[in-house]
Amino acid sequence: MLILTRKKGQSIMINDNIEIVISAIDGDQVKIGIEAPSEINILRKEVYLNIQESNKEAAQTKMTLNDLKKLIKPE
């Protein structure tokens, strides 16, 4: 892990296309801005972990053909 010290208004570059800017510091909270291409997903870690857990649960769910048929509404 790389640990850097930055002040308000300073930034960090990742590759040539991601910039992380320190926008505010208030006590023990730091507000950051992230500028990155739209194809790069940016999530808080707790949200990312929840998505991963949901994906694992969905992959482990076993459905029968009849279960799938119930999901389709007749026209």
Q: What is the pLDDT of residues 41-71, one digit of tens each?
A: 999 999 999 999 999 988 887 878 887 788 8
Cβ atoms within 10 A of the Cβ of 4, count? 7
Statement: residue 1 has pLDDT above 80: yes
pLDDT of residue 74: 63
Statement: residue 75 has pLDDT above 80: no
* C-alpha span between 28 and 1 (Å, rounded): 21
